[in-house]
Structure 1
Amino acid sequence: MKRFFSFALLLIAIALGGYWFIQQKLPQRSGEIKLEQLSEAVSVHYDERGVPHIQAATELDAYRALGYVHAQDRLFQMEMVRRLAQGQLSEVLGEKTVKIDRLFRTLRLHQHAKSYLKTLDPNSPAMQSLNAYLDGINQYQATRAKPLEFDLLGISPRPFTAEDTISVAGYLAYSFAAAFRTEPVLTYIRDELGEDYLRIFDLSTPSQGDATYPEPSSTNATSTLSSSKLTANDWQGLNALAEVSQAALFEHSLPQFEGSNAWVMAGSKTQSGKPLLAGDPHIGFSVPAVWYEAHLQTPSFELYGHFQALNPFALLGHNQAFGWSLTMFQNDDLDLIALPPNWDNLTRHTELIAIKGQAAEELTLYSSDFGPIINAALGEKTPDTPIALWWAFLETKNPILDAFYDFNRANTLNKARAAASKIHAPGLNMVWANAEGDIAWWAAGKMPIRDASTQPAFILDSQTDQAKKYGFYPFSDNPQEENPERGYIVSANYLPASPNQVPLPGYYNLADRGEQLIKELSQPNIKWNTQNSQAVQLGEQSGYAPRLLKPLLGDLYASASSKEETLLINQLAKWQGSFPTNSYLPTVFTEFTYQLLTATFLDELGEATFNNLLNTRIIDSALPLLVANPTSPWWNNQQTGTNQTRQIVVGQAWQATLKHLNKVLGPKLDDWQWGKAHTLTHNHPLGAQKPLDKLFNVGNFAAPGGHELPNNLSSGYSSAPWAVEYGPSTRRLIDFAAPEQALGINPVGQSGVKFDKHYSDQAKAYSEGRYYPQHLAEKDIEQNTQSRLTLVP
């Protein structure tokens, strides 16, 4: 009996110790905490979703408090995203992330942040606000228990700095840079396969028009990079580089931008008579979610904002007077430039990459007149040809801190336009409205003036005029609209029109998603509000699938080997392209699309280049052009030298589709329902390792919607089953007749702290397409306050 009681006491002690260990790591949302450098006490009301409503006497007090409460919920996210941007993941994750660290060291984000900060005025309002915010983070880190993940990875806390914030801004700009992954693929197709194979890729851009700019030189104006210049070793290295680039964006559950929807309706189109703003940026899913919601109130400033790690200025926000959302511009502001093998005008320096559990790796970085040499990212797989990176993010003044500081306060058209003009890179569409009735959109970003010979979709030749730049077009040449007569503006990543018809090279998304939104929002007999707008944001249909299938229906019928198959093709022929969870037609279409891609492209490209092509946006626009052309050389089998017809390839893809779905999902059509094959799990950076996935990951949930639909829950191109990788990172609806009744949702929860009640409390509601109120009015805040924290000097 005595032994039994001793064992019981041991279990109780362990349980109490575990409880204490967990409790000390949870955010403190009530009581009183001392925070240095405050001018007066700050009150923080936490609502039912864990959103802090910060009431402060001054803006600097508000930002310092924001830093503290943001760190309470998201300190590990802050730590990981700065390590990713600065190439320091391997110090805590080991050898598996060395390639990614090499990549981000090569991009010079940390080095650029250091030099960029030297150009900033430390006494500017933006810098003072940033430093107050970072001080709040550092005070939390210095006085509270480390996050659980710090213990598991052995992370030693170190202060957060402005260099970290600017480095992370560079990572976000890089996540927009599709050219890094696209240009090697297109160059390979052109130089190794020939111009006939390029015809399915729509690379046209608007003409320059009448704008007056320096005349390009006509000498050496060749549009082709000789295939003899890039060797087999070069292609292998460029494929490896694209693979590392993709892994950097998806394998570590950290935020990367992929697309977005945003629209704004003038009062003439709304039930209330005031503008209505909607937005849902498409970003990779993760735990914690990318956005941190917080409401800041001072006598001179108020904003309900959506904040990213280490940034005190909201990238999305609203108040009683105005609000905005954003989408990706998707302009091409990055060029890869091939140098001669013996290029000698290079500077070099060496860095050490710390690697957990082994000796540090020495990395030599080279720079040229055109920009950093990216070969270093490949380690021992260095190509024969040096490849330079010219990137507007590294080449412009880019006062992006001032831009968003100003945008957080832009209550008039003139202020918002001026703030947007300060965003140089990455390219963003800023969609804005105010309670006075104005609506507007500005495509923000510096567009380089390239030589007339330049084809920026390909790797450029440094020895020709292709690589020349003649400055940047003025902001007035960027696409933009203010108070259009039609009464609404839609932004959905498709190619916009330039007011002065300047070139807009880029990697734009298909127009189908935008066309679906315009089709619904342009209906003349509907007056819009935050209720009927929800169905538009949650839309599961576009015209893309029927458009892709239409030219292939004859080939599909010819491929059917049974009555059951013919009946299934009949259903696809009548299908309107809707992707609800209870339908099997989206599953059949999505698997068939992948099998068709494999049967068409793999033999010409090889596995590495084919996989990289699937990770570009150009494949979306290429597919409809391919299927509409039965004589395309892509239908032939290059491996066997066989001239095949489109019908043969479509038949192969169709039979492979049925075989695979039967194998992995079962023999019954009901087993193929979209919600069973297409699921969403929110992955934590440590959740890739079992059994930590059970502890940290959230989900999985049946996911409606799909790739390039308004409800853009996308898994990319692969074979069933599909894990959703990115989609709406929040959904917001704001009617400026009653902005205090705005609606929104977080895909997971406010908190990134495991065992906290707000770690995943919104995940189920998000997957069901529900919305929550975003409290702005004082009475609503009081009524929904669950706890109150006071920060005192």
Structure 2
Amino acid sequence: MKRTLTTLGVIIAATAAGAAWYSESSKPQRSGELTLAHLDAPVTVRYDERGVPHIQAANEADMYRALGFVHAQDRLFQMEMLRRLARGELAEALGARLVDTDRLFRTLGIRAHADDYARKMDMNSPAAKALLAYLDGINQFQGSRPAPVEFDLLGIEKRPFTVEDTLSVAGYMAYSFAAAFRTEPVLTYVRDELGADYLKAFDLEWHPEGVVGQTLATNDWNDLSRLARLSQQALVEAGLPQFEGSNAWAVSGRRTASGKPLLAGDPHIRFAVPAVWYEAQLSYPGFNLYGHHQALNPTASLGHNERFAWSLTMFQNDDLDLIAEKSNPDNPQQVWYQGRWVDLEQREETIRVKDGEPITLTLRRSAHGPIINDALGAAAGKTPIAMWWAFLETENPILDAFYQLNRANTLDKARTAAEKIHAPGLNVIWANADGDIGWWAAAKLAQRPDGVNPYFILDGSSAAADKPGFLPFSANPQEENPERGYIVSANYQPQSPTGVAIPGYYNLPDRGQRLNQKLAQADVKWDLNNSQALQLDPGTGYAPRLLAPILDELRTAATGEREQQLVEQLASWNGDHELDSVPATLFNQLAYELTNAVMRDELGDAFFDSLLQTRALDVALPRLTADAGSPWWDKRGTEPVEKRADIVKVAWQASLAHLQKTFGDDSAKWIWGSAHPLTHNHPLGQQQPLDRLFNVGAFAAPGGHETPNNLSHRVGPAPWQVIYGPSTRRLIDLADGAHGLGINPVGQSGVPFDRHYADQAEAYIKGEYLPMHFSEEDVKANSRETLVLKPAN
């Protein structure tokens, strides 16, 4: 027994020592010296207390090569997963369950488009040279350092990162913006299967021109429903960033305490581990920028220095149309286009599957775009549904755009850079120390024939699906130095200076209106402190607006003193989603139960679930509660005709029953902090026990759906997992641009067990801000480790 215990102890000690060694070997090296080929001179990388690298190089190529190396140290697995998702290669690493996701992304054409775009790129352009140097740094790290632990767990073999990978990831980002893919099938179903009276709730004009001319069969509707669900599932299961919305504002010096412009920005993105942004300060003689970078992109998507700063929000213009093609009954590989039968283009691609046989896909394309129901394989219905997508149809020199934006210190330079962003649509909000502020809704806006409503599936056999061209950039919504002294961007529908309509899947105006209401206060001088309070505002006017028309019916539905008290709490509630709020919990459960009772019977489970993922529902709910005569209130399959009061009563009772079952009978304990947790999920953390190793959280989260502090969840029953929110919070006063404030939702590092993997998570959820060190004095004072990258020769 003694020998056995001794042996066991040795094994345990050896295993622990091996695990510790393995863990340490895969962590980033942030001190000492390393050799990096192709450098012209040594590069110094100083890491601050948050693990942010401050890179000093002798020239531009060395700077971007060093960025690639240190970015890969912290985020190589994120880079690998993003390129695999975008290029339809996840099944090769994760197995057969990701085949459907790979098939979808192959069908979208992102991979083929990226490969074609790379062949046409001018590799001598400054942006291309920056990308090549950056990718060289990534590949040198990958070739010389231990693989991340996730590579070993999944058996991923290292292979070089390419220009095509970067361009494919740009396509994935654009696709994650494309709300039309998940919205148009639902809206078309409502119009064609339920009728115009039901469509009124969605606040869309009724346009009979230019929509599907033929009757869709049941299996075609099933296709559209499955595609909408597959689209959403692909983004969720990959555990990777999905862009959802954003806040940003710029305030001129006339309205700030410092007398110089102030920029605030917090892009709203799906939470994940690692976080989407990689912070780094980059400098060489004549260039100095603190930037927030996306994986596989050398240029900063968000950035600032002492002279200028910018942030981004989603434009949310509709740059994707679904088009029902008319098939030739004598030849299913032909469709009717511009007065004749035209052959569909075809190509084959192969999906490699871990522990399985390769799968060969036959992918088709019409003149309008990829046939997206090919993503369903042999189960697809008879009607080919094409996808016209601006990302595939424009020049889209987005690498050049952001290369220039990283250097845009004047209005003219910023405007010129923004004009090069074609897809996805982005709002660029910009300010400089000279006193200028500007906003450009950057996108190539498609022209559509008169009378065509792109919110519905279009008829490919008519001219309605064709695009005569694109509008000039001067027609894009934009402002420069407005008289009111500030600019707000919060995903609501903007106005074109030419008055042209710009279709899109915009967010409700409530969040933007709340920000505008605060920023319009003439007696307030804005600084970093009150700007923090505005970014962290947990309130919304949406909830009181939705509740107001049905409060009397709720009072009638409530039985007993305690229920009456709960109704009165809702009636007096201002919409703030504080951690200790009971009305916030009650309202969000009631919103779901109302939706469920009103819409599921008409839509069926599949389309109902799809609707819950769209912004169209946000528009519909307040309109429904305000319209007692809407046909939605009558339940199908029941003999009596239900009224609004009947459904409100059903929803109220169901809300109470669910909250009692979930949180107990004491309604005082139904507080928002208990019902609204945030967990940052790693792609490998979806299974136990790996969730305990890789995920971060859970944290009780304030804020909520469409509050300025947009820690948001999907409409559904309690508890509500926070899905997306501010991916960073940044504040830069250009009177002192060297001392901006920011925060990362989790940590700078994507390497499990590294000290910077989750070291900002608690500060983030508490609403704290941390300095973004920029000046030489601050960087030197806050450097914790220094890595020197030396030339190989």
Deviation at 1:12, TM superposition (A): 2.8
- 2:26 pairs with 1:39: no
The number of residues matched between the two structures is: 778
Decide which moves more: 110-119 or 143-152. Answer: 110-119
The residue aligned with 1:29 is 30
Contact 2:320 2:387 (C-alpha < 8 Å) held by counterparts: yes
**Residues 684 and 690, structure 2, Cα contact 8 Å, conserved in 1:** yes
Structure 2 distance, partners of 1:779, 1:513, is: 39
Q: What is the aligned counterpart of 2:628 among 623, 627, 630?
A: 630
Q: Residues 30 and 790 of structure 1 are in contact (CA less than 8 Å); yes or no, is this contact kept in structure 2?
A: yes
Provide Cα deviations, 1:10-36, integer angstroms capped at 9, x if missing partner.
333222222111111000000000000
Partner Cα distance (1:24, 1:270) in 2? 49
Give, in whole Å, the separation in 2 of the partners of 1:202 and 1:3: 75
1:722 aligns with 2:720: yes
Amino acid at match of 2:267: P
Aligned residue number for residue 291 of structure 1: 277
Does the Cα contact within 8 Å between 1:221 and 1:465 map onto a contact in 2?
no
Q: Look up the match of 1:213.
A: none
Q: Measure, in 1, the Cα distance between the counterparts of 2:545 and 2:474.
A: 36
Aligned partner of 1:68 in structure 2 is 69
Q: Does 1:323 pair with 2:309? A: yes
Checking the alignment, whether the CA contact within 8 Å between 1:221 and 1:464 is kept in structure 2 is: no
**Cα distance per residue 1:40-93 (max 9 Å; x no partner):** 000000000000000000011010000000000000000000000001101111
Determine which of 624, 641, 644 is the counterpart of 2:642. Answer: 644
CA contact (8 A) 2:319 2:389 kept: yes
The 2-side partners of 1:12 and 1:653 are apart by 58
The letter of the residue matching 1:437 is: G
Is residue 261 from structure 1 mapped to residue 259 from structure 2 by the alignment?
no
C-alpha offsets along residues 532-591 of structure 1, whole Å, 9 cap, x if unaligned?
Answer: 110000001121111000000011111112121111111111111010001111000000
Where do residues 556-571 of structure 1 align in structure 2 (5 Å cutoff)?
556-571=554-569
> Are residues 1:273 and 2:274 paired?
no
Tell me the distance in 2 between the aligned counterparts of 1:535 and 1:203: 35
1:268-667 to structure 2, matched below 5 A, reads 268-342=254-328, 344=334, 345-640=343-638, 642-667=640-665
Counterpart CA distance in 1 for 2:62 and 2:10 is: 47
Counterpart position of 2:340: none
Listed as ranges, the gaps of 5+ residues in structure 1 are: 206-219
Decide whether the 8 Å contact of 2:676 with 2:702 is kept in 1: yes
Aligned AA (1:100): T
The letter for the 2-side match of 1:222 is: E
Partners of 2:639 and 2:600 in 1: CA distance:
14
Deviation at 1:257, TM superposition (A): 0.3
The answer to whether the 8 Å contact 1:179/1:332 transfers is yes
Could you say what secondary structure the match of 1:471 adopts? coil
**Greater mean deviation of Cα atoms: 106-115 or 376-385:** 376-385
Q: 1:462-491 CA deviation, whole Å, 9 max, x = no partner?
A: 122211211000000000000000000000
Query: Which runs of 5 or more residues in structure 2 are unaligned?
Result: 335-342
Once the 2 structures are TM-superposed, how far is the Cα of residue 118 of structure 1 from its aligned partner?
2.0
Tell me which amino acid in the other structure corresponds to 1:246: Q
The aligned residue for residue 209 of structure 2 is: 222
Partner of 1:125: 126
1:223 CA displacement: 4.0
SS in 1 for 2:40: coil
8 Å CA contact retained: 2:211, 2:452 = no
Partner residue, 1:50: 51
Q: Within 2, Cα distance between the matches of 1:523 and 1:112? A: 48
State the 1:4 CA deviation. Answer: 5.0
One-letter amino acid matched to 2:242: Q
CA contact (8 A) 2:211 2:457 kept: no
Note the C-alpha offset of 1:351.
1.3
Q: Is the 8 A contact 1:453 1:465 kept in 2?
A: no
Give CA-to-partner distance per residue, 1:317-360, whole Å, 9 cap, x none: 00011010000000001100001132512011111111111111
- The one-character-per-residue Cα deviations of 1:411-430 (angstroms, maximum 9, x if unpaired) are 00000000000000000000
Task: State which drifts further: 637-646 or 768-777.
Answer: 637-646
Q: Which amino acid aligns with 2:145?
A: R
Tell me by how many angstroms 1:628 deviates: 0.7
Paired with 1:23 and 1:270, the residues of 2 have a C-alpha distance of 47
What's the counterpart of residue 210 of structure 1?
none
Task: Give 1:204 deviation, angstroms.
Answer: 5.1
Counterpart code for 1:121: D
Shift of 1:7: 4.1
Check conservation: 1:259, 1:328, Cα contact below 8 A: yes
Percent identity between matched residues is 60
What are the superposed Cα offsets for residues 95-149 of structure 1, whole Å, 9 maximum, x if unpaired?
A: 1111111110001111101111122111110000000000000000000000000
Relative distance call for 1:567 and 1:5 in structure 2 (3 A) is closer
User: Any idea what SS the aligned residue of 2:468 has?
Assistant: strand
Letter in 1 for 2:212: L
Asked whether the equivalents of residues 248 and 489 of structure 2 are also in contact (C-alpha less than 8 Å), the reply is: yes
- Counterpart contact for 2:210–2:465, Cα < 8 Å: no
Partner Cα separation in structure 2 for residue 115 and residue 371 of structure 1:
15
Deviation at 1:8, TM superposition (A): 3.6
The equivalent position to 1:243 in structure 2, one of 212, 225, 229, is 229
Q: Which residue identity is paired with 2:556?
A: A
Contact 1:229 1:385 in 2 (8 A): no
Provide the secondary structure at the position in 2 that maps to 1:714: coil
SS of aligned partner of 2:469 = strand
Distance across 2 between alignment mates of 1:647 and 1:4: 72
Q: Would the aligned equivalents of 2:373 and 2:384 in 1 still touch at CA under 8 Å? A: yes
Distance 1:742 1:204, change over 3 A: farther
Report SS of the residue matched to 1:282: strand
Of 573-582 and 341-350, deviating more is: 341-350
Q: Is the 8 A contact 2:85 2:238 kept in 1?
A: no
**1:203 Cα deviation from its structure 2 partner:** 2.5
Contact 2:613–2:714 under 8 Å retained in 1? yes
Match of 1:142 in 2: 143
Paired letter, 1:78: M
Mapped to 2, the partners of 1:109 and 1:501 lie a distance apart of 33
Counterpart residue number, 2:218: 232
Paired residues of 2:209 and 2:453 also in contact (CA < 8 A): no
Match of 1:672 in 2: 670
More divergent stretch after superposition (725-734 vs 661-670): 661-670
Cα contact 1:78–1:310 (8 A) shared by 2: yes
Matches of 2:406 and 2:538, distance apart in 1:
32
Label 1:34 to 1:661 Cα distance change in 2 as closer, same or farther (>3 A): same
